[in-house]
Amino acid sequence: MDLKPFIAQAKIDLAALVAIDTVSAHGRNLEVGASFVTKLLEAEGFVIKSYPGKVAPILVAEAGEGTRTMLIYNHYDVQPESPLELWHSAPFILTEREDAAGVLRWYARGVSDDKGEFISRLAGLRALKAQHGGTLPLKIKWLLEGEEEIGSPSLEKFVHDHASELTADGCWWEFGSIDPAGRPVIYAGLKGIVCLELRAKVADSDLHSSLGAVVDNPIYKLAKAIASMRDETGRITINGFYDSVRPASSTDLEYISRIPDESAALQQAYGIKGFLENASGARYYERLNLEPVLNVNGLHGGYGDAGSKTVLPAEAFAKLDFRLVPDQNPSEIVKLIRAHLTQHNLSDVEVIELETHEMPGRSNLDHPFMKTAIDTARKVYGHEPVVHPSSGGSGPMHPFVEFVGVPVVAAGIGNISGFVHAPNENIVVAHFEKGVEYALELFSSVAKM
Amino acid sequence: MDLKPFIAQAKIDLAALVAIDTVSAHGRNLEVGASFVTKLLEAEGFVIKSYPGKVAPILVAEAGEGTRTMLIYNHYDVQPESPLELWHSAPFILTEREDAAGVLRWYARGVSDDKGEFISRLAGLRALKAQHGGTLPLKIKWLLEGEEEIGSPSLEKFVHDHASELTADGCWWEFGSIDPAGRPVIYAGLKGIVCLELRAKVADSDLHSSLGAVVDNPIYKLAKAIASMRDETGRITINGFYDSVRPASSTDLEYISRIPDESAALQQAYGIKGFLENASGARYYERLNLEPVLNVNGLHGGYGDAGSKTVLPAEAFAKLDFRLVPDQNPSEIVKLIRAHLTQHNLSDVEVIELETHEMPGRSNLDHPFMKTAIDTARKVYGHEPVVHPSSGGSGPMHPFVEFVGVPVVAAGIGNISGFVHAPNENIVVAHFEKGVEYALELFSSVAKM
């Protein structure tokens, strides 16, 4: 089938969609964006319900017939465009240009994350309809939210409450990418996350450091807390922390053993001094995909300028995030952290839960839908897909997996130089075109599943 | 003896001396200050030698006859006057006014630290000469430097090289104070200090925190380093750290047991949450005066604004000071710290020695000179002196104690609300007057020792 006309129309639609600056962090144009998405889907015969979210509507669109049902999750909001001065073209105008290597790209905020993903899938769906005389040979349930870039504050509860309306044979997640070798990179899970601030205070004002002989030090308290929570391999030493970790399946480990080892390339790109446990290959990806992590995002207290200042700071704070894996629960983890601090005589270290709070979610790669998504990718891209049982990152996949009970696969059109969340966000035009084809083939394959 | 005329002249001299803004940190007017001090001392018959220091001359003045010799250490430089807007009168104009409680005070930069100390002693010496028909009944060696406020970078070596010229029966240190109850507060030692920066770096640029699964965290490394160096009581857990600590003498412990317990007042004044080991009384002062300390002055790395940011920072640094006691040596301590880091698998944590680097010094309170200084204080002030075997602070006392071999006592005219190093530095006029009397009596007593 000639996809060119569908791709041409998709480019126009994508240009129109990125022109609407749906920045959820600033509450900008979210209703306008939702309305345009609604019109695009209504034009394809979707029946759409709009539900109020915290700052933007959640749209649930339904269309099609058949024995199989596919759920798709996308979002129409984007990250803020700042810093504006680093953009080489206006962030909300779709701009086509070749990069330094002569690769044709489209640039705009949201062109990758997540408007390009949505539009490429829509174009594939239009091609599918054209193949089937204007009808859809499977049922599609399309959920789009406008709060993904602010942590999806409404989604977990929404999916929980609407689980019975969202049942499907499989769910297509909002993102995915093509690696530099042209291989599709597919994820079957996302880690959970809980962000905390630890605060220690020893006095109402800074003291002369000679008083450190008798007054405790808030940075020492935080250092003790942090150092006691993990060991030098990165393993977390909080009592009970691993109790609810689901063991990796043999399928997960098999897929992990096949991931091309890109640790050396990452090490060079970022000047990384070394990896924990000197991990590489399967062990590296086992850590990245399947193991929980304690990160210290920042710690600040006391003097920080040149030279020395003999001060005993009154207070200090640290920001931590814990990446979690199934079946860990952020609220339970926070309880374990508080218990740990008490056990270590640090109950005076204040624990503040920050907003970011997501449950982990991971799908079974043996499920026929997951196999179909992987097989279709192999066929469309002509390369063996790189399958990660889970991303190292976090996102709101959990309620789909756990409440709806649907397997979720992430496959898409992103690229490693896509500058997602940064200036000059882009996609490779050829990846977009392949994405339309992948959508068409995935819909067709699932319809026949 | 009527000291009024001596005090009146001293006020004039002090006003003239504070008018010279000898800010060593800025290299301001140090030669002018040295020259005026020289003139004041020459007028009393001193023979003065001037030696070049790093930025200001070191003056050694000698006068007098007799079997006993007293060495005096003062400095003619001052701290910067900023922030100017917080001063209630011009910092370099001696200004007399009553405080809110009706206590008459003199305000100016250096009026306490250390020009008021120097001039009160000079006035006592003039009174002594008047009592003895214009002669001095003891030999006085007066060493004044102009680099004390920048850490006395020339002094240790100078005193080492000139030790034989500086021999004396006792040395009177540059400071001391009168407590709110009117008791003279006397110190027989100062701690040493070594300031370090610890730096940890894991990559050339910040990373997404999901990579914390495979890349170590620089804040964790610093936390582990700091947490491993002390325990929760503040005791330092670096191998060999206490090996060269000189045991407290029974005299030291006896004096410490008699120090009025002001820990509760300090706790209230600064809103201190509690003391290490819940120390109070003798244990509190034993810690403060006689035990080495690890202070964390600051630690900075990664995200520090509101909310959360899932970043893995590339690097972080911490500033530490170690307060040392006799006979610990800063250079040896740095070696132990480096060895400790290696033992704890943290040899990739960089150790940078900062400029502040002073040896500890403490005198034997059983020495007749020390007893004379304490007895004279009891007589002049009409209160039992509060004697600290050492201050919790640091200063360049070490070369006098160790190279010259002279006992050193710190007694003077400061007060707890004196705002030394801060805007509105001041002394209580009555303390200055009593200081002139104390100088006269101390000189007389030492002459008869």
Nearest to B400 by CA among B61, B113, B70, B101: B70
Interchain contact A201–B (C-beta under 8 A): yes
Assess contact for A434 and A413: CB atoms under 8 A.
yes
Alpha carbon of A294: minimum distance to chain B alpha carbons (Å)? 7
Name the band, by pLDDT with cuts 50, 70 and 90, for residue B307.
confident
Cα dihedral B334, B337, B339, B341 sign: negative
Structure tokens at A244: 């609810």
A163 secondary structure, DSSP code:
G
Reduced to 3 states, what is the DSSP secondary structure of residue A96? strand
pLDDT of B355 > 90? The answer is: no
Among chain A residues, the shortest Cα distance to B304 is held by A298
Q: DSSP E strands: which ranges in B211-360?
A: 293-302, 311-312, 315-324, 350-358
- Which residue type, as a one-letter code, is found at position B182? G
Whether B271 and A205 lie within 8 Å, measured CB to CB: yes
Q: Which of A237, A235, A229, A233 is nearest to A277 (CA)?
A: A233
CA distance B392 to chain A (A): 5
| Contact call for residues B38 and B48 (beta carbons, < 8 A) | yes
Mean pLDDT of the region A158-165: 98
The reply to whether A294 touches chain B by the CB within 8 Å rule is yes
The minimal CB distance from A213 to the residues B207, B288, B302 is found for B288
User: Given CB atoms, is B209 within the 8 Å cutoff of chain A?
Assistant: yes
Strand-pair partners of A60: A49, A143
d(CA B40, CA B46): 9
* Interface subset of B 381-400, CB within 8 angstroms of A: 391-394
Phi–psi pair at B430, nearest 5 degrees: -65, -35
Judge whether B2 is closer than 8 Å to chain A, CB to CB: no
Which one of B216, B293, B354 has the shortest CB-CB distance to A308? Answer: B354
Q: Does B249 touch chain A (CB under 8 A)?
A: no
CB under 8 Å to A82, separation ≥6 — which residues? none
Q: Which pLDDT band holds residue B277 (cuts at 50, 70, 90)?
A: very high
| Alpha carbon separation from A75 to A24, A142, A384 (Å, rounded) | 11, 10, 28
> How would you label A416-427 residue by residue, b for 16+ Cβ within 10 Å and e otherwise?
eebbbeebbbbb
Average of per-residue pLDDT across B297-301: 97
B156 at A interface, C-beta within 8 A? no
Give the distance from residue B219's alpha carbon to the nearest chain A alpha carbon, in angstroms. 6
Nearest residue on chain A to B151, judged by CA atoms?
Answer: A308
* Predicted local confidence at residue B335, as pLDDT: 98
Say if CB B313 and CB B343 are below 8 A apart: no
Q: Which positions in chain A touch B195 (Cβ < 8 Å)?
A: 308, 310
Q: What residues of B are in contact with residue A321 (Cβ under 8 Å)?
A: 209, 308, 310
The whole-angstrom distance between B381's CA and the closest CA on chain A is 28
Which residues in chain B have Cβ-Cβ distances shorter than 8 Å to A319?
A: 302-304, 308-309
CA distances in angstroms from A62 to A59, A126, A373, listed in the order given: 10, 14, 21
Any CB–CB contact under 8 A between A212 and chain B? Answer: yes
The CATH architecture that domain B192-245+292-358 belongs to is 2-Layer Sandwich (3.30)
What is the C-alpha separation between B117 and B115, in angstroms, rounded? 5
C-alpha angle B403-B409-B412 in degrees, rounded to nearest 5: 135
B288: closest chain A residue by CA: A213
Task: Determine the residue type at B12.
Answer: I
Question: How, if at all, do strands A184-187 and A414-415 pair?
Answer: unpaired
With beta carbons under 8 A apart, name residues in chain B contacting A80.
Answer: none
pLDDT surpasses 90 at A295: yes
The one-letter amino acid at B385 = P
Interchain contact, A321 vs B304, CB within 8 Å: no
Nearest CA in chain B to A287: B213
Residues 348-367 on B with a CB inside 8 Å of A are: 348, 354-356
Instruction: Count Cβ–Cβ pairs < 8 Å, chain A vs chain B.
Output: 264
**pLDDT tens for residues B186-245?**
999 999 999 999 999 999 989 999 999 999 999 999 999 999 999 999 999 999 999 999
- What are B117-168's pLDDT values in tens digits? 999 999 999 999 999 999 999 999 999 999 999 889 999 999 999 999 999 9
Quick one: pLDDT at residue A355? 79
CATH C-level class of A4-190+361-447: alpha beta
Compute the distance between CA of residue B301 and CA of residue A298 in angstroms, rounded to an integer.
5
As a whole number of angstroms, the distance between CA B101 and CA B430 comes to 14
Over residues A191-199, the mean pLDDT reads 96
* Tens-digit pLDDT profile for residues A382-413: 999 999 999 999 999 999 999 999 999 999 99
Task: Give the nearest chain A residue to B203 (CA atoms).
Answer: A272
| Whether A275 and B316 lie within 8 Å, measured CB to CB | no
- Give contacts of B265 with chain A, Cβ < 8 Å: none
Residues of A with CB below 8 A from B274's CB?
216
Percent of chain A with pLDDT over 90: 95
Q: Which residue in chain B has the smallest CA separation from A317? A: B304
The pLDDT assigned to B308 comes to 84
- Give B90's contacts (C-beta < 8 A, 6+ positions apart): none
Structure tokens, A187: 């994820």
- Domain ranges (residues) in chain A: 4-190+361-447, 192-245+292-358
What is the model's pLDDT at position A310?
A: 87
Residue among A214, A230, A308 minimizing CB distance to B287: A214
Quick one: what percent of chain A has pLDDT higher than 70?
100
CA distance A97 to chain B (A): 28
Task: Tell me the three state secondary structure of residue A80.
Answer: coil
At residue A230 the predicted structure's pLDDT band, cuts being 50, 70 and 90, is very high
Per CB-CB distance under 8 Å, the chain A contacts of B217 are 295-296
Please list every residue in chain B whose beta carbon sits closer than 8 Å to the beta carbon of residue A266: 211
- Give chain B's mean pLDDT: 96
Q: Residues A419-423: what's their mean pLDDT? A: 90
Write out chain B residues lying below 8 Å of A299, CB-based.
219, 222-223, 299-302, 316
- Strand A104-107: give its sheet, edge to edge: A95-98, A104-107, A426-428
Give the other-Cβ count within 10 Å of B304's Cβ.
16
| Confidence category of residue A151, pLDDT binned at 50, 70, 90 | confident
Q: How far apart are the first and last CA of chain A?
A: 21
- Mean pLDDT over residues B415-425, rounded? 91
What are B66-75's pLDDT values in tens digits?
999 999 999 9
Given its phi and psi angles, is residue A82 left (phi above 0), alpha (psi -120 to 50 degrees) or beta? beta
Q: Which of A203, A230, A299 sits opposite B272 (nearest CB)?
A: A203
**Residue A310 to residue B296, Cβ atoms within 8 A:** no
User: How confident is the model at residue A150, as a pLDDT?
Assistant: 87
Taken as a whole, chain B contains a residue count of: 449
Q: Are B333 and B323 in contact (CB under 8 A)?
A: no
| Mutation choice for A interface testing from B296, B334, B358 by most A CBs within 10 A | B296
Q: Which of B226, B273, B297 sits opposite A309 (nearest CB)?
A: B297
Which of A213, A227, A307 is facing B227, going by the closest CB pair?
Answer: A227
Is residue A233 within 8 A of residue B166, CB to CB? The reply is: no
* Euclidean distance between CA atoms B190 and B171, whole angstroms: 14
Question: Is A441 near chain B, with CB under 8 Å?
Answer: no
The token pair that represents A5 in the structure block: 């006309």
Please name the residues between 213 and 232 in chain B that touch chain A, using a CB distance below 8 Å.
213-217, 219-220, 222-228, 230, 232
**CB B385 within 8 Å of CB B183:** yes
With b for 16 or more beta-carbon neighbours within 10 A and e for fewer, the A220-258 pattern comes to bbbbbbbbbbbeeebebebeebeeebeebeebbeebbee
Residue A190 sits at the chain B interface (C-beta within 8 Å):
no
Q: Which of B308, B311, B333 is nearest to B322 (CA)?
A: B333
Q: How confident is the model at residue A426 (pLDDT cuts 50, 70, 90)?
A: very high
For residues B351 and B337, the answer to whether their CB atoms sit within 8 Å is yes
* Residue A16 burial (C-beta neighbours within 10 Å; 0-12, 13-18, 19+): middle
Element (H, E) at A279: none
- Identify which has the larger pLDDT, A151 or B183: B183
Length reported for chain A:
449
Q: Is B162 helix (H, G, I), strand (E, B) or coil?
A: coil
* B356 pLDDT above the threshold of 90: no
For residues A199 and A215, give the distance between their C-alpha atoms in angstroms, rounded to a whole number: 17
Among B215, B232, B394, select the one facing A276 at the smallest CB separation: B215
The partner residue sitting opposite A230, judged by closest CB among B220, B266, B300, is B220
B227: which chain A residues are within 8 Å (Cβ-Cβ)?
Answer: 220, 223-224, 226-228
Confidence of residue A83 (pLDDT cuts 50, 70, 90): confident
> Residue A307's pLDDT band (boundaries 50, 70, 90)?
confident
Average pLDDT over residues B422-437: 96
Evaluate the omega torsion of the peptide bond into residue A52 and state whether it is cis, within 30 degrees of 0. no
CATH of B4-190+360-447, one of 3.40.630.10, 3.40.50.150, 3.40.50.300, 3.20.10.10: 3.40.630.10
Q: With CA atoms as reference, report the closest residue to A115 among A57, A75, A72.
A: A75
CA angle B113, B117, B121 (to 5 degrees): 165
